[in-house]
Amino acid sequence: MISGQQHSYINRHYGKQVYNNSKKAPAQRSIFDEPLDFSQWFLRGFRSFEAKGYDFEFLTDELVAIRVPGRENRVLRTKADFKREWEEYKVNYYL
């Protein structure tokens, strides 16, 4: 079967696929019942990117320098940037 036919077959026989951010199928929801608070979300992301080789340097309480693997330049991010991403995370994944 070609790709379009596969999806058509799956939807017809097994129902339309439900993704993790949907509240319609409790068995398929995220492992978290509610969005993570900012500190938990930040630490999980921080550890995830550290595992991928990113280096973080806290210049002040509000400013972080991030060195991307394979690049010489650093990216500067503020706490406000992370707060904005956290707000987007809450809106996009927990409707």
First-to-last C-alpha distance (Å) of the chain? 35
The rounded distance, in Å, linking the Cα atoms of 15 and 42 is: 36
Tokens describing residue 26: 């409790």
Indicate whether 68 pLDDT > 70: yes
Q: What does the alpha-carbon distance between residue 2 and residue 6 come to, in Å, rounded to a whole number?
A: 6
Does the pLDDT value for residue 52 go beyond 70? yes
Say how many C-beta atoms besides its own lie within 10 A of residue 67's C-beta: 15
Residue predicted with more confidence, 59 or 91: 59
Query: Is the pLDDT reported for residue 4 higher than 60?
Result: no
* pLDDT given for residue 28 in this prediction: 46
